[in-house]
Amino acid sequence: MNKFTLFPKIGGSIPASNEYLVDHIRVIRRIFDELSTACYCDEIEIFHIAMRVDGEVLAFGDREGCNKMRLSRKQNYIANSISFGESIWSDEMVLHNFLRSNLLLAFQQMIAKLRKEKIQVDGDLLLKDLSKKIELYMT
């Protein structure tokens, strides 16, 4: 079985949309819990997403979208980050659409990296399952 994890890194309070963001984090964690019942890659144990959210106290300075991908064969994980700031989290519909598309993009990038490194991954099935879960829970 693979494990799917999400770690939100929030740079301070985000009063305007904190409720929206928390709801989306909850939904993504539910999706990841359900994906964690299958095995898509034997060599990699953990697929990890870091959500880097600029806030009032701290701005990470990342470009918006997917970036900072890391692969560690030794520690059996692959990680990617999804970064965004106030222009995204201040509007519920923009946040919703941004997370839907960037969640898929983050996994597409991770699958491409694994394949480039000659690591066997059932990327097609993973993307299919992820897409189904996104359609089910993030509509």
In this predicted structure, the answer to whether residue 70 has a pLDDT above a threshold of 80 is yes
Burial class (CB in 10 A: 0-12, 13-18, 19+), 57: exposed
**pLDDT for the residue numbered 8:** 94
Q: Which of 15-19, 53-57, 70-74, 111-115 has the lowest mean pLDDT?
A: 15-19
* First-residue to last-residue Cα distance in the chain: 27
CA atoms within 13 A on the CB side of 84: 22
Banded pLDDT at 1 (limits 50, 70, 90): very high
3-state secondary structure string across 47-107? EEEEEEECCCCCCCCCCCEEEEEEEECCCCEEEEEEEECHHHHCCHHHHHHHHHHHHHHHH
Q: Supply 84's token pair.
A: 């965004």
Banded pLDDT at 104 (limits 50, 70, 90): very high
pTM of the model: 0.94
pLDDT per residue as tens digits for the range 17-66 = 468 888 999 999 999 999 999 999 999 999 999 999 998 888 888 999 99
**pLDDT for the residue numbered 86:** 87
Banded pLDDT at 15 (limits 50, 70, 90): low
